[in-house]
Amino acid sequence: MEKVYGFTHYSFFTEMSELASRHNSFDLSLGLADFDIDPRLKDFLKEAADQDTHNYEPLAGNPLLIHNVISFNLKRKNGIKLKENEVTITPCATFTLYTALKCILNPGDEVIVIQPSYYTYSPSIVLNNGIPVYYDLDADFSINPGKLQHCISDRTKAIIINSPQNPTGKMWTEHDWNVLYGLIKNREIYLISEEIYDTYCYDGTEHYSSFLHPELRKRTFCIFSFGKMFHSTGWKVSYLLADPDLTAKFRCHQQYISYSANAPCQYAIARYLDVFDPSENRILMQKKRDLFNELIRDTPLVVERKTEGAVFQVVNFRNVSKTMTDVEFSKWLTIEKKVSCLPLSAFYDSKQNSDYIRFSFAKKDELIIDALEHLRKNL
């Protein structure tokens, strides 16, 4: 498989999904929703086609969308107060993370990556001439402040956080942000906070954004995704919250890379935010999480910690195999047992094996039921 800058060019994630397709397996490997978007969102996109929305939007984004992003964040239970010069509409979360790093990194700067983590983080650092420094979460996927502090050096320029986290489903609390600030308050260290699963928080827990911390806010690039919120990843529209000074730096770079995001989709999303109820998102996905966890209890696979947020469940597979690596097990499960997943080691640079696999429950109920029933009968 081709390597670029030391990283796999064609993602293992895509490979597993293609493997599921070739073997006619139930595909729970990727976080892409297989159910339809809200019909109202489609109607607003059709409406956009009849409007004057076919030229570039302003660099900052569609003014109505920016206004509605501000309103949406203020209405959260943990409300975020924003000004117009703190919001930028962007093409996607991956672009936003890459461009945020470009704003702050000089050659040789270090960026701490908390693992397991999404596979684009380290390449984005390297492509911006930075050096990834890896911190592995504890066995229960919690942060150990002392161990994290050992990763911080005089060359540390940023830390990348994901909450709710892919793949573990862990969520950062107000206490966690306070602890992190205590570690970096006397250093010039920035925070890239990817909060793209913010509307998927379960069991009554509310998302608590890094942007609520009065001091972290001054040094944070906070990234959200409409694609994840509305199951419309192909629309490629996200948004960034940042202090006005960081916003200005970010837009300076964005104007030379993409300029603006998809104009008709910005219009449709702006209109949809007027009627969107995030509690419907949470209820829908929590039911799917609970359905998955209820059915997997009838298999030898073990859920040690029910996911707190996002759309993934990490599962221990060692009752089935003590000898296979998690990569071998994932391929075996996909090919021989006809249910696709991802190995947890795919989310690490520092590990070649683990006891865990990751399933996505952002799927139609019928697919979840059929996949878990198949495992119940065949494992």
7 pLDDT exceeds 70? no
Residue 318, pLDDT above cutoff 90? yes
Q: Which of 369, 353, 352, 368 is nearest to 321 (CA)?
A: 353
Q: Please, what is the Cα angle at 52 between 51 and 54, to 5 degrees?
A: 110
Angle 365-378/278-296 helices, nearest 10 degrees? 10
Tens digits of residue pLDDT in 329-338? 999 999 999 9
Q: What is the pLDDT of residue 350?
A: 75
Tokens of 223: 């990234």
pLDDT of residue 8: 54
Across the chain, which distance is largest between two alpha carbons, in Å? 60
- The Cβ of residue 211 has, within 10 Å, a number of other Cβ atoms equal to 25
- What per-residue confidence (pLDDT) applies to 43? 97
pLDDT in tens, 200-227: 999 999 999 999 999 999 999 999 999 9
The tens digit of pLDDT for each residue in 157-188 reads: 999 999 999 999 999 999 999 999 999 999 99
Average pLDDT of the residues in 279-300:
97
Pairing of β 190-194 and β 220-225: parallel
Instruction: Give the whole-angstrom CA distance, residue 309 versus residue 306.
Output: 9
Q: pLDDT for 239-253, tens place per residue?
A: 999 999 999 999 999
159 phi/psi in degrees, rounded to 5? -130, 135
Model pTM?
0.95
Gyration radius of the chain's alpha carbons: 20
Question: With pLDDT > 70 as the criterion, what percentage of the chain qualifies?
Answer: 97
Mean pLDDT (the chain) is 95
Confidence grade of residue 105 (pLDDT, cut at 50, 70, 90): very high
Exposure of 359 in the CB half-sphere (CA atoms within 13 A): 30
pLDDT in tens, 9-58: 446 778 888 999 999 999 999 988 999 999 999 999 999 999 888 999 99
Which pLDDT value is given to residue 1?
40
Contact assessment for residue 177 and residue 159, using Cβ atoms and an 8 Å cutoff: no
Lowest mean pLDDT among 78-82, 139-143, 366-370, 371-375: 139-143
Integer Cα distance of 272 and 42 in angstroms = 9
Cα(53)–Cα(220) distance, integer angstroms: 31
The percentage of residues in the chain with a pLDDT greater than 90, rounded to a whole number, is 92
In this prediction, residue 377 has a pLDDT band, given cuts at 50, 70 and 90, of very high
pLDDT at residue 2 in the model: 52
Range with the lowest mean pLDDT among 229-238, 266-275, 347-356? 347-356
Tokens of 24: 């006619």
Domains and their CATH numbers in the chain: 3-30+278-378 (3.90.1150.10), 43-273 (3.40.640.10)
Q: Is 189 left (phi over 0), alpha (psi -120 to 50) or beta?
A: beta
Q: Where are the alpha helices (DSSP H) in the chain?
A: 12-22, 39-49, 63-75, 93-104, 121-127, 145-151, 174-184, 226-229, 244-257, 263-273, 278-296, 326-335, 365-378
